[in-house]
Amino acid sequence: MGLAIVIALAAATPLLSAEIPAAQTEIATACQTSPTIGVKWESFGDDADGRAAFVKAGLGFLTNAFGDVCKDATLKAEVGKQIRKVVLAQAYGAADPIIYLSRGALYVEYMWAPNEGGPDAKMVRDEIAARLKGEEPEAP
C-alpha cells in the first residue's frame, strides 16, 4: 500500500468513527429509519486528493437531503421501505452526483475533488425523491 493511500486512510478514520454514526443518527431522527452508511474507499483508487476532499466535505449534504426528503410523509415512508443502506463512492468524470437505488441500497456517486466541496444537498434531495418515486436517473 503506497504512503499516499495510508495517509488518506488515516485521514478517513475520523469520518468513519465520528461523522458516519452522527449522520446515521440525524437520518434516523428525520426519517424514523436507520440506513447504514458506507464508503467504497476502493472507488477512490490511489486518488489521495479525492479521499481528502471527501473527508473535508463531510456528510452534511446527505443529512440535509434526507432531512428535506423526510419532511414529506409519503417519501418518509418510502425511505423506510426502499433504503437499507447508503453507499458513497468516487465517480470519475461525473460533475453532478449519480444517484440510484439497487437492492435496498442508495448509491451516491460523485467526483470529490480538492476545493470543490461535496454535492449540492438540494440536488441530492431531488434525486433521492425521484428514485423513491420510481423515476430512473438521467444518464451521465
In a domain, 137, yes or no: no
Is 123 within 8 Å of 64 (Cβ atoms)?
no
Angle (CA) 133-138-140 rounded to 5° is 145
- DSSP code for 111: -
Q: Is residue 16 part of a domain?
A: yes
Domain count, the chain: 1
Question: Is residue 138 included in any domain, yes or no?
Answer: no
pLDDT at 38: 94
* Residue range of the domain that includes 103: 3-132
CA dihedral 36, 37, 40, 41 (to 10 degrees): -130
Nearest-angstrom CA–CA distance, 128 and 105: 11
What is the pTM for the complete model shown? 0.87
pLDDT in tens, 62-76: 999 999 999 999 999
CA distance 90 to 92: 6
What pLDDT was estimated at residue 16?
Answer: 63
Residues of the chain with pLDDT under 50: 1-12
Strands 98-102 and 105-110: antiparallel
The residue type found at 125 is R
